[in-house]
Amino acid sequence: MIHLRIRAAILACCAALIVSIAGGAATPREPHPVKTLKVTLLSTMLADAPKTHDQVGEWGFAALLESDGHKILIDTGAQPETVRMNARSLHVDLCEVQDVVLTHHHSDHTTGLMTLRRDCMAKHPQALSRVHVATGIFWLRRAAATGLAASGQRDASEQGERNPMIAIRKEFEATGGLFIEHNEPIELYPGIWLTGPIERKFPEENYGKGLVVISSHGTIPDNVPEDQSVVVEREHGLIVITGCGHAGIVNIVTRSNTIIPGQRLYAVIGGLHLFDATDLTLDWTADRLKGFGLEYLVGAHCTGIEAVYRLRNRIGLDRKTAVVGAVGATFVLGEGIHPGAIAQ
């Protein structure tokens, strides 16, 4: 009888443990809304500074995120010196930053990394030393016509490699820097998330054609599978920061809502790769963003000037809440957009 009682007690404890674990899995995620946020554009096509004339525009993207004492550099521009030069003009010290997010492999987002790292590391060895990337960023790229022939080769230099991250990886790691590869969402700091690769639920083809990826899954068309975004959780709303939005902004926001459910879309900042989109695509995108509850839009880089205005009008935003992003423009939580002189 005693043995039966002991056995029953053990079974009851195990059952309670299983219920506890199951209940824990179903427990809603504890929110971590940020208290402060400032995003400053450091690389995009439109350059401001009517008084100093010392900021530079380029076909590229970079932005500095500052939130609750944390700083993250998102992308590094297209030319080696652009972000460094613009940061100095804006009195932004990137040598205080340790974390970098590269949204994808394209050179207009990655070229400035080594210049910035070398510029800072002598003074601050940990500056810009930790780079967050998504799975696929180091996969080999080829022109579609030669991709199949090259798929069995691993020597990038002999087979016309089109991915600049292959070379950058070797240079960066030689400085003691670390690449951290993510294949799923991760909370980098409280309230600051990285999406990782994004599911393409909707058929947004916001990327160029003509390249193939040589991956562990074989040779496939390059739809920039590693494209990722930064998502910031504020109270009652999400802020999404994109590099090019190759995954499609609707796919990105849809993914963001699964990472941090039950939140409206507060702001979108960055490139959306809609500069050559059709009127039908722009209308569809605007309607979706309006449905998400979008309140602020800073359309930089490859979004396109006309596309920003089309989105603004259809969503029902105005010149204070939707602008073309310029170098030096900022978005500040609680204040909104400070667009600079050229975009106001």
Q: What is the pTM of this model?
A: 0.89
Domain harbouring 183, CATH code:
3.60.15.10
Task: Of 207, 213, 217, give the one whose Cα is nearest residue 148.
Answer: 213
Q: What is the pLDDT of residue 30?
A: 84
For the segment 194-211, the average pLDDT, to the nearest whole number, is 94
Q: What is the pLDDT of residue 29?
A: 67
Q: How confident is the model at residue 165 (pLDDT cuts 50, 70, 90)?
A: very high
Q: What is the pLDDT of residue 9?
A: 43
Q: What is the pLDDT of residue 344?
A: 87
Residue 2 lies in a domain: no
Residue 300 lies in a domain: yes
Task: Of 151, 169, 170, 173, give the one whose Cα is nearest residue 160.
Answer: 151
16, containing H or E segment: helix 2-26
Residue 87 lies in a domain: yes
In whole angstroms, give the CA distance from residue 344 to residue 341. Answer: 6
For the segment 260-269, the average pLDDT, to the nearest whole number, is 96
Instruction: Tell me: pLDDT of 84 over 50.
Output: yes
Q: How confident is the model at residue 155 (pLDDT cuts 50, 70, 90)?
A: very low
**Number of domains within the chain:** 1
DSSP state string for 81-146: THHHHHHHHTT--GGG--EEE--SS-HHHHTTHHHHHHHHHTT-TTTT-EEEEETTTTSEEEEHHH
In whole angstroms, give the CA distance from residue 275 to residue 14. Answer: 59
Q: What is the pLDDT of residue 28?
A: 62
For the segment 298-320, the average pLDDT, to the nearest whole number, is 98
Give the chain's mean pLDDT: 89
Q: How confident is the model at residue 26 (pLDDT cuts 50, 70, 90)?
A: very low
Residue 17 lies in a domain: no
In whole angstroms, give the CA distance from residue 155 to residue 152. Answer: 10
In whole angstroms, give the CA distance from residue 65 to residue 309. Answer: 25
Instruction: Tell me: pLDDT of 46 over 60.
Output: yes
Residue 279 lies in a domain: yes
- Structural domain span for residue 191: 33-338
- Contact yes or no for 44/57 (Cβ under 8 A): yes
Instruction: Tell me: pLDDT of 343 over 80.
Output: yes
For the segment 293-298, the average pLDDT, to the nearest whole number, is 98
Q: How confident is the model at residue 150 (pLDDT cuts 50, 70, 90)?
A: very low
- Contact yes or no for 26/32 (Cβ under 8 A): no
Q: How confident is the model at residue 229 (pLDDT cuts 50, 70, 90)?
A: very high
Residue 296 lies in a domain: yes
In whole angstroms, give the CA distance from residue 52 to residue 56. Answer: 11
Instruction: Tell me: pLDDT of 16 over 70.
Output: no
Q: What is the pLDDT of residue 159?
A: 55
For the purposes of burial, counting CB atoms within 10 Å of the CB of 50, is it exposed (0-12), middle (13-18) or buried (19 or more)?
exposed
Task: Of 296, 290, 295, 291, give the one whose Cα is nearest residue 325.
Answer: 296
The contacts of residue 161 (CB under 8 Å, 6+ apart) are 140, 141, 142
Residue 4 lies in a domain: no
Residue 18 lies in a domain: no
* Range of 9-18, 19-28, 79-88, 149-158 with top mean pLDDT: 79-88
For the segment 54-71, the average pLDDT, to the nearest whole number, is 97
